[in-house]
């Protein structure tokens, strides 16, 4: 049951539901006039998409899609479709655009907020965490380490005080809404903020919709929150973990950090990371390596060895279906069925089906930890990222090297960064001994595991799933920076 005073209308929508998006802009800003900003912020609050509004929009989109399907199937005789199946008569227009806002510790300080949110990683900022996250950079110790990040995130010239997230159905609607918000944060033509950077992400086109740039379906496994995803007739999907509300929200059940200020309740901590992906190089590695380590192409209907190796590195096929030995093929129907696509367990002590190091097994080992008493619940995060950059060009495919930057703007929400994003990256992805499986050493997460750019290795990638170590010849995902933010409740924003 939900806490009695809990209201979806008090929580920003990206945290609990996710903003509906085809495209999303992240506007990173510095506050240049704190007094003006505080009074102007109250005018922005009515534009914020709350969790209840985000829920309503998702339902409207679902209904819209169902209606569109009816029209395409020709059941609704009042509208026509052309030979391409496109709707030709009076299609209903559904334009959705949502706004959320979050602040860094430097931003809270600029606004004169002196309360301690009791999250040391948030307080110090992500740059101070870069060495422990094992990002590439210069310097052998934490002191003086300079990550190899984009200038904006190094914050040497301008501090990042906050980020405005605007998501919607097109760049036009998103840009228009961002201009509206910026207009409200300005009086007589003088703005109370300055832009540090604007980053734009875009869902991949056509058949790749919902897939990240390596080609794998993303956004399949999310925790369900008690009091949100199991009320009003809703229930978690089979295999979906139901966690305490406080895993996502500060000040709620499960958020065991004592002494957080009351106004921080129903806010959440946001980790943003810019993660470029080297797609042609990743594909080249799969092609060059797979034949040497897999023998599955003996089966006539088997996928290519490169597809098998890729699936074993991620833990799912490109469609999003979890990998299984039988049948050894991708299964798009299973992938698209939320009643089944998370309903699986890893086989404890065995990496025959899924390597211990596979990205999804590292990030959510489910009930597979050596010590069954260890709960993974506090380490589950709400992921809300979006891809950025163009599709791989013909030239890049031919030369097998990246010319245009593309990747993932990673966004996660959690009530504690040391349990959430930072923990997953440092202690699971970058830890070759996790999950503990003696005598086998799982190796690094082949997708995001990193040691300051050094070569890493994983085991279990080969078809006989032995502990043979597979060197991962380079990083195919490389951090270009980010920041930690606090995404406050609506009441807190109104009282700022
Ligand atoms: C799941 C890709 C970065 C944490 C997944 C999935 C894919 C994927 C394809 C499976 C689909 C799903 O279950 O939703 C990537 C790529 C990344 C990236 C390409 C970088 C460019 C990260 C980072 C973290 C992370 C930085 C956290 C430190 C997770 C988690 C899951 C997941 C928690 C769900 C696992 C589960 O519950 O089964 N990712 N990811 N990912 N990823 Fe990532």
Residue 277 CA: nearest ligand 1 atom is 21
Distance 364 CA to ligand 1 centre (A): 9
pLDDT value for 373:
65
pLDDT value for 5:
87
Residue 448 Cβ inside 6 Å of ligand 1? The answer reads: yes
Residue pair 80/70 in contact by the 8 Å Cβ criterion: no
Residues in contact with 369: Cβ distance below 8 Å, sequence separation at least 6, in sequence order: 376, 435, 436
Q: Which of 419, 123, 160 is nearest to 260 (CA)?
A: 123
Q: What is the pLDDT of residues 210-232, one digit of tens each?
A: 999 999 999 999 999 999 999 98
Residues of the chain where predicted confidence (pLDDT) is lower than 70? 1-2, 68-94, 295-302, 370-373, 463-467, 496
Using the structure block, give the residue that is written with the tokens 């506090």.
378
Structure tokens at 424: 């997953």
Q: Which of 221, 274, 237 is nearest to 482 (CA)?
A: 274
Buried (b) or exposed (e) across 51-89, using 16+ Cβ within 10 A?
bbbbbebbeeeeeeeebbeebeeeeeeebebeeeeeeee
Residue 425 Cβ inside 6 Å of ligand 1? The answer reads: yes
Residue 104 Cβ inside 6 Å of ligand 1? The answer reads: no
pTM recorded for the entire structure: 0.94
pLDDT value for 87:
42
Q: DSSP letters along 261-302, please? A: -GGGTT-EEEEEEEEEB-HHHHHHHHHHHHHHH--GGGSTTP
Residue 364 Cβ inside 6 Å of ligand 1? The answer reads: yes
Q: Which of 23, 487, 88, 462 is nearest to 250 (CA)?
A: 487
pLDDT value for 168:
95
The residue to mutate among 346, 447, 481, having the most atoms of ligand 1 within 8 angstroms of its beta carbon, is: 447
If you take atom 7 of ligand 1, which residue's CA is the nearest one? Answer: 218
Q: Which of 386, 367, 384, 383 is nearest to 375 (CA)?
A: 367
Distance 79 CA to ligand 1 centre (A): 41
Q: Which amino acids are annotated catalytic? A: 218
Rounded CA separation 106/145 (Å): 20
Rounded CA separation 86/30 (Å): 45
Structure tokens at 273: 């990371």
pLDDT value for 257:
82
If you take atom 39 of ligand 1, which residue's CA is the nearest one? Answer: 218
If you take atom 11 of ligand 1, which residue's CA is the nearest one? Answer: 218
pLDDT value for 298:
53
Q: Is 37 helix (H, G, I), strand (E, B) or coil?
A: helix
Distance 422 CA to ligand 1 centre (A): 14
If you take atom 22 of ligand 1, which residue's CA is the nearest one? Answer: 448
Distance 197 CA to ligand 1 centre (A): 25
Q: Is 156 helix (H, G, I), strand (E, B) or coil?
A: coil
Residue 320 CA: nearest ligand 1 atom is 11
Q: What is the mean pLDDT of the chain?
A: 90
Buried (b) or exposed (e) across 407-422, using 16+ Cβ within 10 A?
bbbbbbbbbbbbbbbb
Q: DSSP letters along 355-420, please? A: -TTSHHHHH--TT--SSTT---GGG--EE--EEESPPPPHHHHHHTS--S--EEEEEEEES-TTTT
Task: Give the ipTM.
Answer: 0.99
Residue pair 119/257 in contact by the 8 Å Cβ criterion: yes
Distance 221 CA to ligand 1 centre (A): 9
The residue to mutate among 130, 204, 213, 218, having the most atoms of ligand 1 within 8 angstroms of its beta carbon, is: 218
The residue to mutate among 221, 343, 444, having the most atoms of ligand 1 within 8 angstroms of its beta carbon, is: 221
If you take atom 4 of ligand 1, which residue's CA is the nearest one? Answer: 363
Residues in contact with 473: Cβ distance below 8 Å, sequence separation at least 6, in sequence order: 285, 455
Distance 314 CA to ligand 1 centre (A): 8
Diameter of the chain measured on Cα atoms = 72
Distance 86 CA to ligand 1 centre (A): 34
pLDDT value for 69:
62
Buried (b) or exposed (e) across 291-330, using 16+ Cβ within 10 A?
eebbeeeeeeebbebbbbbbbbbbbbbbbbbbbeeeeeeb
Q: Which of 221, 225, 205, 224 is nearest to 213 (CA)?
A: 205
pLDDT value for 464:
66
Instruction: Say what percent of the chain tops pLDDT 90.
Output: 76
Residue 360 Cβ inside 6 Å of ligand 1? The answer reads: yes
Residue 218 Cβ inside 6 Å of ligand 1? The answer reads: yes
pLDDT value for 91:
44
Distance 360 CA to ligand 1 centre (A): 6
Residue 210 Cβ inside 6 Å of ligand 1? The answer reads: no
pLDDT value for 304:
87
Residue 421 CA: nearest ligand 1 atom is 28
Residue 489 Cβ inside 6 Å of ligand 1? The answer reads: no
If you take atom 33 of ligand 1, which residue's CA is the nearest one? Answer: 363
Distance 476 CA to ligand 1 centre (A): 14
Residue 223 CA: nearest ligand 1 atom is 37
Residue 419 Cβ inside 6 Å of ligand 1? The answer reads: no
What's the number of CA atoms in the CB half-sphere (13 Å) around residue 250?
A: 27
Angle at 426 between CA 288 and CA 256, to 5 degrees: 145
């Amino acid at each position: 049951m939900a806490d009695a005073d809990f209201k979806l209308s008090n929580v920003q929508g990206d945290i609990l539901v996710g903003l509906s998006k085809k495209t999303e802009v992240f506007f990173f800003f510095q506050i240049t006039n704190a007094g003006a900003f505080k009074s102007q912020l109250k005018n922005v609050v009515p534009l914020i998409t709350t969790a209840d509004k985000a829920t309503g929009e998702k339902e409207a989109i679902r209904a819209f899609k169902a209606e569109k399907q009816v029209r395409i199937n020709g059941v609704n005789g009042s509208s026509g479709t052309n030979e391409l199946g496109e709707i030709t008569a009076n299609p209903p227009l559904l334009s959705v655009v949502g706004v959320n806002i979050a602040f860094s510790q430097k931003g809270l300080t600029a606004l004169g907020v002196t309360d301690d949110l009791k999250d040391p990683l948030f307080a110090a900022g992500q740059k101070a965490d870069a060495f422990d996250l094992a990002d590439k950079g210069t310097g052998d110790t934490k002191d003086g380490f300079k990550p190899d990040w984009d200038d904006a995130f190094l914050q040497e010239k301008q501090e990042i005080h906050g980020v405005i997230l605007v998501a919607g159905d097109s760049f036009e609607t998103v840009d228009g809404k961002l201009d509206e918000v910026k207009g409200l944060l300005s009086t007589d033509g003088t703005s109370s903020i300055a832009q540090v950077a604007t980053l734009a992400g875009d869902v991949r086109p056509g058949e790749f919709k919902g897939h990240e740039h390596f080609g794998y379906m993303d956004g399949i496994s999310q925790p369900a929150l008690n009091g949100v995803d199991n009320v009003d007739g809703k229930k978690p999907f089979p295999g979906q973990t139901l966690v305490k509300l406080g895993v996502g929200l500060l000040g709620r059940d499960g958020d065991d950090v004592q002494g957080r200020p009351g106004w921080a309740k129903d806010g959440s901590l946001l980790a943003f990371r810019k993660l470029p992906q080297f797609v042609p190089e990743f594909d080249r590695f799969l092609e060059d390596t797979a034949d040497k380590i897999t023998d599955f192409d003996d089966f006539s209907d088997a996928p290519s060895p490169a597809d098998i190796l890729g699936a074993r590195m991620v833990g799912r096929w490109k469609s999003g279906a979890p990998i299984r030995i039988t049948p050894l093929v991708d299964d798009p129907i299973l992938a698209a069925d939320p009643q089944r696509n998370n309903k699986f367990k890893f086989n404890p002590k065995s990496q025959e089906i899924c390597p211990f190091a596979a990205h999804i097994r590292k990030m959510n080992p489910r009930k597979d930890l050596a010590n069954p008493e260890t709960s993974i619940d506090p380490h589950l995060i709400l992921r809300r990222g979006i891809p950025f950059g163009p599709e791989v060009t013909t030239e890049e495919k031919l030369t097998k090297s990246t010319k245009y930057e593309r990747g993932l703007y990673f966004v996660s929400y959690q009530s504690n960064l040391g349990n959430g994003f930072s923990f997953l990256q440092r202690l699971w992805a970058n830890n070759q001994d996790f999950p503990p499986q003696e005598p086998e050493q799982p190796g690094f997460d082949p997708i995001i595991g990193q040691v300051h750019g050094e070569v890493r290795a994983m085991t279990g990638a080969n078809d006989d799933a032995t502990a043979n170590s597979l060197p991962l010849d380079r990083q195919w995902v490389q951090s270009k920076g980010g920041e930690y933010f606090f995404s406050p409740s609506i009441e807190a924003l109104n009282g700022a």
